[in-house]
């Protein structure tokens, strides 16, 4: 049965503030409650920063919801410092247990749980437009990186159009650890998860933006990713609020932007690059997918059906690296549909398999340059309002 917001509020009335005799709901500390299926997110507002108390309260809230509502509920609890709210109560007197003179002047949002704590490099694969081969590139890049012996993760954040379950031919539901964390699946040497494994895309279609971003946040935080050299994120297509929020929630090491050579796709790719620059995420470069067509019976022929070198020239124009061109080959589509990405081809015979190996090497190289020259990307914590 679907979980109701009121059930959650009632459960939280069982959580008492450790320094008083009132519960969190009575103290008006719970904000931004969103419930969708088994995903529950809310914020605990506090009058001042207190990491120890925050952890205790989060743990107690978790326990109460698992005990009184649903033992399988997946929670994303954030804490936030909200001085003005508590100052307004009871004529500005310290209405809050433990609240005293140590008030800070400015309202400050608190750091949420760390995203991907054991991951060295987080790479977002993005495109302005859908259907340009973003997932194909993400999947082959992840497998290409794993081919080098690296530990690699792949997260499909495209809730409305998840394609990784098909591209990996894996549809089983992930297991959950004793600590209620999801365990990623593993195939072709890549640890992966997709929203498509947990949420029915038809149902997700009606989700509003904030619901999508909070579900994606859970996917990053409530998963046992372990220690990884690379994490590849397949972002949803476009440069709207959802993409922007994901990009700002994760301390991305860099972004790979996928485009086809057509003008319409290039315009959107330019917007994609601009989005990352706006939020100070280094753009590792642009990949040109479907750069030219290779007929299966004439593997040495090249037909530039969508135009020639469009993405390469765009990269040059906007001062971004060009990471490589992937041919349009029937085998790429077939391998995507059959669950074995083309870069896993044993003999690397096809042009596209070779192109993906080259792409992976270029990404490794650009990451090395980026990590040498620039500091880690700062994450901006955005408050998600329901």
Residues forming the site for ligand ADP (CB under 6 A): 127, 130-136, 163, 237, 289-290, 326, 328-329, 332-333, 336, 352
Provide the CB-side half-sphere exposure for 360 (13 A, CA).
Answer: 24
Instruction: Please state, in angstroms and rounded to a whole number, the distance separating the CA atoms of residues 384 and 187.
Output: 33
Find, among 142, 136, 140, the residue nearest to 122 by Cα.
142
Task: Decide whether 135 or 289 has the Cβ nearer to Mg ion.
Answer: 135
Shortest reach from residue 138's CB to ligand ADP, in Å: 8
Residue 328 near which of ligand ADP, Mg ion, none (CB within 5-8 Å, type-dependent): ligand ADP
Considering the complex, what minimum distance in angstroms separates the CB of residue 163 from ligand ADP?
Answer: 5
Q: How, if at all, do strands 283-293 and 30-36 pair?
A: unpaired
Instruction: Give which of ligand ADP, Mg ion, none residue 127 binds (C-beta under 5 to 8 Å, depending on kind).
Output: ligand ADP
Query: Which one, 202 or 346, has the nearer CB to Mg ion?
Result: 202
Reported in sequence order, the residue ranges of 214-278 that DSSP labels E, i.e. its strands, are 228-234, 254-259
The site partner of 332 among Mg ion, ligand ADP, none (C-beta below 5 to 8 Å per kind) is ligand ADP
Secondary element (H or E) of residue 120: strand 119-126
CB closer to ligand ADP out of 94 and 305: 305
136, interface contact from ligand ADP, Mg ion, none, CB < 5-8 Å by kind: ligand ADP
Q: Which CB, 65 or 141, lies closer to ligand ADP?
A: 141
Query: Position of tokens 């040109």?
Result: 288
Smallest separation (angstroms) from ligand ADP to the CB of 338: 10
Nearer to ligand ADP, 130 or 307 (CB): 130
| Edge-to-edge strands, sheet with 119-126 | 185-187, 190-194, 152-156, 228-234, 119-126, 254-259, 283-293, 322-328
Residue 336 CB, shortest distance to ligand ADP, in Å, is 4
Q: Which is nearer to Mg ion, 163 or 170 (CB)?
A: 163
Q: At CB < 8 A and 24+ separation, what contacts does 50-59 make?
A: 50/98, 53/18, 53/98, 54/79, 54/110, 56/18, 57/15, 57/17, 57/24
Residues that bind Mg ion (CB under 5 A): 135, 163
Buried b (16+ CB within 10 A) or exposed e, 79-103: bbbbbebbbeeeeeeebbeebeeee
Rg (CA), the chain: 23
Query: Phi-psi category of 98—alpha, beta or left, where left has phi over 0 and alpha has psi -120 to 50?
Result: left
> Tokens 């433990």 belong to which residue?
98
Least CB distance to Mg ion at residue 155 (A): 13
Rank residues 30 and 332 by Cβ distance to ligand ADP and give the closer one. 332
Smallest gap from Cβ 301 to Mg ion, in A, equals: 28
Please choose which of ligand ADP, Mg ion, none residue 195 contacts, taking the beta carbon within 5 to 8 angstroms, the exact cut-off set by kind. Answer: none
Q: Between β-strands 74-81 and 228-234, what pairing exists: parallel, antiparallel or unpaired?
A: unpaired
Q: How far is the CB of 163 from Mg ion (least distance, A)?
A: 5
Binding partner of residue 290 among Mg ion, ligand ADP, none, CB under 5 to 8 Å per kind? Answer: ligand ADP
CB distance 213 to 76 below 8 Å: no
133 binding partner (options Mg ion, ligand ADP, none; Cβ < 5 to 8 Å by kind): ligand ADP
- Taking the least distance from each CB to ligand ADP, the nearer of 131 and 240 is 131
CB of 204 to ligand ADP, least distance (A): 16
From the CB of 150, what's the least distance to ligand ADP, in Å? 22
Q: Which is nearer to Mg ion, 29 or 164 (CB)?
A: 164
Q: DSSP letter at 295? A: -
Instruction: Decide which of ligand ADP, Mg ion, none touches 336; Cβ closer than 5 to 8 Å per partner kind.
Output: ligand ADP
Nearest residue to Mg ion, scored by beta-carbon proximity: 135
Residues in CB range of 261: below 8 A, 6 or more apart: 288, 290, 291, 304, 306, 307, 308, 309, 310, 311
């Amino acid at each position: 049965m679907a979980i109701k917001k009121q059930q959650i509020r009632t459960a939280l009335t069982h959580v008492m503030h450790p320094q008083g005799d009132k519960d969190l709901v009575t103290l008006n500390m719970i904000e931004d409650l969103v419930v969708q299926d088994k995903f529950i997110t809310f914020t605990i507002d506090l009058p001042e920063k207190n990491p120890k108390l925050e952890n205790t309260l989060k743990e107690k809230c978790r326990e109460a919801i698992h005990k009184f509502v649903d033992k399988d509920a997946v929670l994303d609890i954030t804490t936030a410092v909200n001085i003005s709210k508590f100052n307004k109560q009871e004529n500005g007197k310290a209405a809050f247990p433990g609240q005293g003179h140590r008030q800070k002047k400015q309202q400050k949002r608190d750091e949420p749980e760390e995203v991907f704590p054991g991951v060295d490099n987080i790479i977002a694969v993005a495109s302005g437009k859908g259907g340009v081969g973003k997932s194909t590139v993400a999947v082959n890049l992840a497998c290409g990186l794993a081919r080098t012996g690296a530990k690699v993760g792949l997260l499909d954040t495209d809730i409305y159009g998840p394609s990784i379950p098909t591209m990996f031919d894996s549809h089983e539901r992930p297991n959950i650890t004793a600590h209620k964390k999801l365990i990623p699946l593993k195939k072709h040497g890549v640890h992966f998860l997709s929203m498509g494994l947990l949420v029915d895309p038809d149902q997700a279609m009606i989700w509003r933006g904030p619901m999508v971003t909070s579900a994606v946040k859970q996917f990053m935080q409530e998963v046992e990713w372990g220690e990884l050299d690379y994490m590849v994120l397949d972002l949803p297509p476009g440069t709207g609020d959802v993409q922007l929020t994901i990009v700002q929630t994760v301390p991305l090491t860099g972004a790979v932007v996928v485009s086809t050579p057509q003008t319409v796709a290039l315009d959107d790719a330019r917007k994609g690059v601009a989005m990352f620059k706006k939020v100070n995420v280094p753009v590792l470069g642009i990949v040109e997918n479907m750069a030219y067509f290779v007929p299966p019976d004439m593997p040495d022929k090249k037909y530039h059906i969508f135009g020639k070198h469009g993405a390469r020239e765009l990269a040059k124009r906007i001062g971004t690296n060009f990471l490589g061109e992937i041919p349009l080959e029937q085998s790429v589509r077939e391998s995507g549909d059959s669950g074995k990405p083309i870069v896993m081809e044993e003999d690397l015979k096809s042009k596209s398999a070779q192109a993906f190996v080259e792409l992976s090497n270029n990404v490794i190289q650009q990451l090395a340059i980026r990590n040498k020259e620039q500091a880690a990307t700062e994450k901006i914590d955005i408050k998600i309002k329901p």
